[in-house]
Structure 1
Amino acid sequence: MSSLEEKTIATEKIFEGRVISLQVDEVELPNGNKTKRELVKHPGAVAIIALTDDKKLVMVEQYRKALEKTIVEIPAGKLEKGETPDVCAKRELEEETGYDCAKLKLLTSFYTSPGFADEIVHVYLATGLSKKENAAGLDEDEFVNLLELTLDEALHAITEKKIYDAKTIFAVQYIQLQEALKK
């Protein structure tokens, strides 16, 4: 099979924001033809499946402007410049939930929309949770309600479209699979 690589000929920066940047690349296709690709560049993010000792999923309810609605999600956030995913996961868990964890394990990483974006999300499992005194707070433009859901409650929230994003659905299905494997 021949190479499927698209060679970049030129890049035009369109927008540089706080969270993302946008660019248009002119590329040469494997057959020699040329076309343009609109790309979203993102620094990467973490998502945390935080489980309490009584097996409840720690989640946040948050308004998402892009969706014009409030949804329930696992704690998550973007990597800061030079920050490792492990450090980011512990920071985001504390900022969004007030929890610290005794154990943090990387489960997987995945690209969210590889057709037009390079965002990668690193998914962690956090256990041995404890509430932190003087926990770091939310960012000044961040407002969340803290929730703790059983697996059944989380599955119901998916059917009700209260949980409606890929990382959180992955988290709930991961816990569901772990429970099924125990039987």
Structure 2
Amino acid sequence: MAERTGHPEQHHLEHHAALNETRVSSKQVYKGPFMTVNLDVVRLPDGKEATREYVVHAGAVMVIPLLDDGRVLLERQYRYATGKVMIEYPAGKLDPNEDELTCAKRELEEETGYTAREYIYLTRIHPIISYSTEFIDIYLARGLTAGEQKLDEGEFIETFTATVPEVSEWIRSGELSDVKTIIGTFWLEKFLSGTWAVPAPVEG
């Protein structure tokens, strides 16, 4: 589904070529089931060399499930790296050879039990540009039908609903600090206010 983004990052690299760094060598220093870590040597714009450590990530999706009554469906999940339970929209990593829309549908059903009549592609974000290749494609899901969760073994997720103003207040107060959920909520507010037109569904 990369065609939807038009590879803007490639355009910017070409347009601002004087800022480019060129890979000289690359070494994989860690490989795990979720990610790998590379250590590269790069040539800087002034000709000098430097090292770059970064996470290689397959990419992910996030779904904003919008209920017919205007509320949104959210999750609470303990995130070990932060040491706290976080409020998030459903999200997950792409499986090998899986396209983004298929992943969005799968993650929504597995984590919440819901299926959707239509999915609307919103945007692609790069949440950690300094040391990760990860991107997250954000979808809006409407026409929801409830079902049963299909959580993976060892996965513990609570689902709940909230109004968009409630979510916005949690963002303002810092109770909700997950960056993808914050960005998704800002997009949703633009659509609900009529400031931005809602794109056509990619399915439904």
Where do 4+ consecutive residues of structure 1 move more than 6 Å? none
Q: Does 1:6 align with 2:21?
A: yes
Q: Which of 151, 161, 170 is matched with 2:183 structurally?
A: 170
Q: Helix, strand or coil: the match of 2:190? A: helix
**Within the alignment, does 1:16 sit opposite 2:34 as a pair?**
no
Amino acid at match of 1:121: I
Displacement of 1:156:
2.2
Aligned ranges for residues 123-134 of structure 1 at < 5 Å?
123-132=138-147
1:112 Cα shift? Answer: 1.1
Structure 2: runs of 5 or more not aligned: 1-15, 196-204
In the superposition, the TM-score normalised over structure 2's length comes to 0.84
Q: Distance in 2 between matches of 1:86 and 1:78?
A: 12
Q: Which residue of 2 aligns with 1:63?
A: 78
Matched, 1:53 2:68: yes
Unaligned runs of 5+ in 1: none
Equivalent of residue 155 in structure 1, options 155, 168, 172: 168
Question: How much has 1:49 moved relative to structure 2?
Answer: 0.7
Measure how far apart 1:181 and its partner are: 2.0
| SS at structure 1 position matched to 2:159 | strand
Q: Which residue of 1 aligns with 2:201?
A: none
Cα distance in 2 for residues equivalent to 1:174 and 1:28? 38
TM-score w.r.t. length of structure 1: 0.93
List aligned pairs for 1:93-172, cutoff 5 A: 93-132=108-147, 135=148, 137-172=150-185
Percent of aligned pairs sharing the same letter: 35
Q: Structure 1: how far apart are the matches of 2:21 and 2:169?
A: 43
CA RMSD of aligned residues (A): 1.4
CA 180–109 in structure 1, closer or farther in 2 if over 3 Å, else same: same
How many residues are matched? Answer: 180
SS at match of 1:60: strand
1:2/1:152 Cα in 2 relative to 1: closer, same or farther (>3 Å)? closer
Question: Secondary structure, in 3 states, of the residue corresponding to 1:19?
Answer: coil
1:89 aligns with 2:104: yes
- For residue 3 of structure 1, give the secondary structure of its aligned residue in structure 2: helix
CA deviations over 1:98-156 (Å, ceiling 9, x no partner): 00000011110011111211100000010000013xx4611112111101110122122
Q: Distance in 1 between matches of 2:149 and 2:178?
A: 25
| Aligned residue number for residue 92 of structure 2 | 77
Once the two structures are superposed, what CA deviation does each residue of 1:74-102 show, in whole Å capped at 9, x if it has no partner?
00000000000000000000011100000
